[in-house]
Structure 1
Amino acid sequence: MAQQAAGTRADERLRRARMATLLSLATGIWASLLLPLVGITRESDPTRATLGAVGVAVFAASQAAVLYAAVTPWLADRWRRLSQVGLAVVAVLSIPLVGPVAAGGWPTWAWLGASLIGMAPLVVRLPGALVVATVTLVAAVGVAVWTGGSVWRFLVVAGGVGTGVAAVNWLQVWFWDLLVEARAGQAAQARLAAAEERLRFARDVHDVLGHSLTVIALKAELAARLAPVDAERAGREAAEVQRLAAAALSEVRETVHGYRAVDLGDQLAAVAGVLRSCGVRCTVLPPPAELPAAAASDLAAVLREAGTNVLRHSRAGWCRIEIVREGDLARMTVTNDGAGDHGPDGHSNGLRGLTDRLGAAGGRLRVRRAEDVFTLEATVPVAP
């Protein structure tokens, strides 16, 4: 819920930034409307004035469409291309409509040319923008010659003002793109955090169920073998299977609801009890008092996997579990005999998952085999 609320606030800030960018870019539209309107007010021919007003209005509408597309990343590419093509067509049509307005008295079309050059960086990349600017300046010279206006005046308005508008527009859209990319990065970070949480939850479920189901399977197999020869003991083993299944179900429910608090001492007692019930002599050295909860949780996960491996991959006669604190590190060592050739190694799925988990916490997992003795050693950092 906290991540969702943060995302909502970020989206609201992005929406406000987009509106501010649109309003800022709209000043260019006002320039393309107001300054050509000066020329329309100076035009004595009503027909030319009317055609000029229509050309300026359509040009401003096309310009607004392109500006809107520039700050609307979710807009379909088809509509974006249509807005750009529409502006190009209107720009060409504006020459005969607006060019003759206030001929010789006011560079009416030059202001539209300045708007075109100013918008070029929003539509195409730098090489294309240079082409647009060149074509626009050539058109401005042509209109000036055609209407008897000052060529230099047209060039100054279209080129000089247009370059300034282009710089301002590009800077605003650049900032907007940075905001969009930052928001996309936040969203990706949130998705990554959710994925990491799912992986953590999957590891916890694996740790809880992997050990419990292995013991249940072994107990059930033992009960099946004992049933024909010792019904009373087979019944006790079956009852133990039922108890273990209920305990595993309870642990899974607590894990799912996030209420599972790891007690390393209880985990040690449980694993030692299961090993002893399966005929493995188990020696446990008590853990140091007051281990941090995070360190205890990591060591408990390793302990469950180690106990599972002793039962699944060895014919152990004895097992020794020791947890000590060495300065800022807590070290757990699980050693057992009876390690076969097909026992676990550092590349098994369970140990690989534990290696990743401890590595993320700044710890380390190591395994080694000497003849038939297998040793698993886990270290995790603890607060000084």
Structure 2
Amino acid sequence: MNNKHILAAMLALPLALSSAFAQEAQSPTVKISGFGTGALTWTNTNDAEFGRPNQASGAKKSPRTGVDSNLGLQADVSVNSWLSFTGQGLVRRDAEDDFGAELMLAFAKARINDEISVRVGRTGLPAFMISDYRNVGYAHTFLRPPGEMYSQVPFDKLDGIDATWQRSFGDTTVTGQLAYGRSEGRLAGGVIKAEGKDVLALNVVAEHGPFTARFGRVDAKVSVKHSASLDALLGGLRNAGAALRQPQLTAMADQLDPTEKDASFTSFGLAMDWNNIVAQSEFAKRKTDTYVNDTTSWYLMGGYRFGKVLPYVIHGKVSIDGHPANVVPAGVPALAALRAGAASLPYIGIGQGEQSTTSLGVRWDFHSSAALKVQFDRVKPGVGSGLLLNAKPGFNRDVTVGAVAVDFLF
């Protein structure tokens, strides 16, 4: 569906369903709701840009609205006690360097019994602790999910089917979710595309009073397509292997080629909101059967609520596991350009993507459905420019990021 027509289709959905079920004894109920964030984001440098995961560009010294701002519209239609439909459109700046609309949710939900429900269609990929509502800024203490964790999976939607089971054991409620389908996401200016086939996701959450614990696992066959740099690198390796009679280079190209390679993402999460103390943490491991970096990522957030004001601190880190010597072997002069190209690839470059961030922020709930947030981050890249975007050659400096945002519901 063309992006320009998504929100119009979302608005038409409840009307169409209402007409379709007009003859039913029980008329469907329609609920329209929305959410959004209006934000300004800036940094202390013009030599690199700060952005959210999958964004083509980010903020520099001049304040920019596109990094942390979005607007969502959701339609929920309850046909009867066991059948409902949900659709959600979202406007944001993502892989294409402009605001655009996309269909985030579009599913039918059937309630089998008091414990089991099934959804078919487009749902959120349950890779993280806040996957279902990661774009709803009002639902989070922080201004944005920590990039060190939430950049590690390029997908946030799943087209397929899932089943959810929920049961209470005394004062503890356990929810299990199993999902299967496919997913895709645009990277680097909307040209490069990541695809996930045979995506299988497990999500288990236990809630006990103010405490929440979560375990998640996602397995998929992942492909990265339409990357000119990557295609040139693989073609160069294969050509050099043939010309120099070095079959190991051809074998390396086959291993490096990210086409339907096995990948997994395993994560754990803990959260607490107890006696004005707020805390949340996630820990994850990403593994792939290719030269795409295996990573370890984590963050820890803590805060204390003073009435309607909640100051907080976050520290997050992502590191590359293993650190192979080089993607492309040294000692072959004809491959010098390929080695430089490999270092520039965001998922393959040695050391690229490693960084840590310490953030200080405050949330003020000045209205029943709106919150003002101010957050400052100190980003420390590892080797290279870390997760920063469009960095000048050789950039490797700490960057200070500031942002002010208003999150709201309607």
- TM-score > 0.5 by shorter chain: no
User: Higher helix proportion, which one?
Assistant: 1
Normalised TM-score (structure 1): 0.26
Larger RCO: 1 or 2 (CA < 8 Å, sep 6+): 2
Larger Rg: 1
Normalised TM-score (structure 2): 0.25
User: Higher strand proportion, which one?
Assistant: 2
